[in-house]
Structure 1
Amino acid sequence: MSANGRSSNSSTVQSVTIESFVERATPAPEHIAYVIVVKLPVQSWRILRRYSDFASLEKQLQSQPAPQGAGRAAPAQLPPKRAVQHTLSILSRSNTISLQKQLAEGRLPELRAWLKAILDSQDPIWRSSYAFRQFLELPKDAQFQIAQADTSGYSSSSASAGARSSSQASSSMTKGESHAAARTSSAPHSSGGIRRLGARSMEVRETDDTRALDNPDLLASQAAQMDAQDQQLGRLANVLRRQREIGLAINHELAEQSELLQQLDTEVVVMQEKVCKGEDKMKRLGG
């Protein structure tokens, strides 16, 4: 997902969180990707990053001078890379991905703490670097505010104040009323089957599947559809790979059969010559 397609209006980053991790089949081989959610006042998006992407970012921040990097180590240490034993290469794919999931579950809180340390630091040199902004796919004019973040990521002071206000209001509501109010407050502006998104009221045609969804649910639905498409492409790739192997095996078999036919043709020619010579001898003897 490219940042170029997003609005470049001046805005403040409200939150950056590592939501969860997902299993992905493409690009091969199967791997674990962490889901990072970035929220601005009028837009939000999800980014998939592998552990190797976090490690590459940490290296850039430390090795490259500002503004490309920070020229020093991050304020927290990235969880170490735990090498998978060589014996995993003989295990089945399902066992390998299961071990990767267990490893990802252990890394998730450590990656959140690492990201939180950068976002909460009083020194903005890390989060203002080109490498970090590119990692989050931020628009050029998006800005951070220094604030205390929760354990799962980063929240601006305005977002924290809104959370406290919502908490006080929800204390006077029943659980059902609170849930309904939350959905109403986050529901998109729509009219005549057209959804209006962003400060410029970009119009998007609604469908029966999306009309009942608010913006966060719509983003989650799109992410689920993309994951399903990735899985379908992965299965298709496996089928095509198998067909290629079968085609190569058939080609090899045809080559062997062709060689045998050539040998048989040669033997037939030799036998015909012997028969002709035998017939000549019989004629001479009979004459």
Structure 2
Amino acid sequence: MAPPAEISIPTTSLTSSSDGKPYTLYNITLRLPLRSFVVQKRYSDFAALHSALTSQVGSPPPAPLPGKSWFKSTVSSPELTENRRKGLETYLRAIAETPDRRWRDTSAWRAFLNLPSTAAGSAASASGVSSGTRVVAAAAANGMVAATDPGTWLDLHREMKGALHEARMALARRDAAGEGSGTRVEAGGQAKRALVKAGSLIVGLSDGLRVLRENGRLGDGELRRRRDLVAAARAERDGLEKLSVTLASSATSGSGPAGHGDKAAATGRVLGAPLPETESTRELDNDGVLLLQRRMMEEQDQDVNALAQIVRRQKEMGLAIKDEVDRQIEYMDRMDQDVDRLGAKVGVAKERTKRLGG
């Protein structure tokens, strides 16, 4: 039984066959519980899937397959491409979300979406579905396709963060390994591969954000947040790259003549005790420490600006309260004067009443 999948067709791609004839690929994005990937299919693959599902189940799927146009081509008609994309997405979602599992449990459906199959390897060919499927994993070098979906973009970002973490740990192992050991060479190669992978993912994430902005699938606030994530990841990747080069240069020069620091260590002279390292600076070179310091200063400036805004609002509230208190005091003074005048008039009225009574 195939695991539940979230299916969408956010974009299409235009490509050419071996004979140079262009055709349209529909980028089917699948989000499974443990991974995400993109399956690229032609319209003919959808038609073969529809025939195979109808044959294996004995009844057509719950949603109709969009019809083929004999007068227009998706290569030259963006409107037809968009309408067919929406129709094919509705078609797949109807099969994936219907309570009736008959179509989802077929080998044709699993082979079409490259899902795990319980049947033998010949099930895909027996299903009648074309085997010319192009699968783009989230971590592939051309992950640009996967990055055009808002949900899969986050999966790509998570993989990129994992690659940066892997590079950081590999550099730490290389730094801790002895000179000329196999572990040092292996860790250095692993760090380099992880940095290359992270760099390609960062490029794909950046390009994906551009497509998402053009399509209007993300709000301005979310776009800014994701741009900041990409910028921070790029800065971290550059810092790790510089750290990798610095460590490699240090290892190369370490086998040469003793430098000034080595001579100082040999003679026991200490020109100045260095500041103790922290977890955030231990694996950084000078450029990385400078970048970290600038980032901390920017965060402090932001905190100061936020505090200044709070103090400014508190001051405005205090001035408003003072104005209101002054206004109320003025009202009370007027009321006292009115009471005094009224008391005087009442006294005069009493005197006149006594005279009239006498």
> Same-fold call, TM > 0.5?
no
User: Which of the pair has the greater relative contact order for Cα pairs under 8 Å at 6+ separation?
Assistant: 1
Relative to its length, the structure with more strand (as a share) is 1
Relative to its length, the structure with more helix (as a share) is 2
Sort the TM-score into its range (normalised by shorter chain): 0.3 to 0.5
